[in-house]
Amino acid sequence: MEEVLIEFKDVTKSFDNRTILNKINLKIYDNHVTTIIGKSGTGKSVLLKHIIGLLSPTEGVILFRGKPIGEMNRKEFDQLRSQFSYLFQNNALFDSLTVFENVALPLQRTTKLSKREIEIKVKEKVEQLELSEVLYKYPSEISGGMQKRVALARALITDPKIVLFDEPTAGQDPIRKNAILSMIAQNQKKFGFTTIMISHEIPDVFFISDRILVLYDGRIIFQGNYSELDQLDHPMVDEFVKSLEGFQDELTGLHSKKSFRNIYEKDLKPKEPHESISAVVFTLNDLYELNEKLGYTKTQEIIRSLAENVNKHFRHVGTSIRTGTNQIATVLPRTGRHAAERMLDDFARGLQAQGLGDIQAEARDGTHSAGSTFSVSAGIAEGEAGEEFEILSEKAGSSQKIIARF
């Protein structure tokens, strides 16, 4: 059963007779990735400060695991605050400190651990985030991606239960954005912390979010998952997410979910009772191992390469969409299963021959199988007139088989 970690009940916050938060009601669940989206000036930062206890509401109640924060004594409140950590938008690393010193700082300031205990703990966390090779380098001497991992290591060094991310991908290119989001999602599962994120990176952030909260004009007007948001009929959602109708996923260049839905309903959905339609779902497997062995950035480059290959092969006969972090779906109108299978066979042969990005495909006789490998799977489903694409793609996804190894 999902446990409510933080709950706002009719929370209002005013400054000098100006209301910033207006009767906010929301729930944040334990061990979930919750993303708060909203336009600039809607109160996201004020909301975040209430979550971590830096501000108190003018009216209303904030509960932590069912207990009002306002009724906690000093010891209870300090224990609550100790469960939070924060990853700043621009990393906020100290230039004059090494990676080791940056990561160790929270332990030095907030615990009574010995110098040796701190050293052991820092080296363990740094190793988990693949930073051992830069342990004694300064931030200016390492890449932007490594700096982000150092900031994450520092945020996680105190073993927090909740980590807040304020626009973690701001100013990054599409590959770097998705690499950072993948890093957050993978480490959230690895270390088991609850993630609360403020972001405007749509739709990239939706792929890793369990729940989305939409803040508009000082109110929470929506809380739920991506599919539910996509179907919400509200002027603000139309205004804020309107660009998605013509928006292409930045990483892959494929259609966004919302733009694809419009295309499917208008042009791709079968019109005649016996008209065939097929869906093909592609999955880049072994994502966790890829991130661990090749790094988050290289993995995103591989996902982009797969999307480019799918789009190039199928764009004249179908339309493709990125449906998940490592998944792509293609709909083939007026195409039966057998024809779709022939197209997929041609695609698999081409993928096998040319490789994926600069990663070479494994020979079919297995002669290149030394070392670690990863694979791409695909599945096909044939649909009927009136069938929703989500149902069709789910059928295709459940029948996937490996079509190429690398």
Task: Quick: pLDDT tens for 13-45.
Answer: 999 888 999 999 999 999 999 999 887 777 888
CATH number of 257-405: 3.30.70.270
CATH 3.30.70.270-classified regions of the chain: 257-405
User: Which H/E stretch holds residue 63?
Assistant: strand 59-64
CATH architecture of 4-243: 3-Layer(aba) Sandwich (3.40)
Is the predicted pLDDT of residue 372 greater than 70, yes or no?
no
Mean pLDDT of 344-373: 74
203 Cα distance to chain centroid = 9
Kindly report the pTM of this predicted structure. Answer: 0.80
The Cα–Cα gap between 384 and 379 comes to 17
pLDDT tens string 321-343: 988 889 999 999 889 999 999 99
CB atoms within 10 A of CB 355: 15
Q: Where is mean pLDDT largest: 53-62, 238-247, 349-358, 379-388?
A: 53-62
- CA 317 vs. chain centroid, Å, equals 30
For CATH 3.40.50.300, the residue range(s) in the chain are 4-243
Question: Please, which pLDDT band fits residue 244 given cuts at 50, 70 and 90?
Answer: very low
Spatial neighbors of 336 by CB under 8 A, at least 6 apart, are 276, 278, 382
Confidence of residue 107 (pLDDT cuts 50, 70, 90): very high
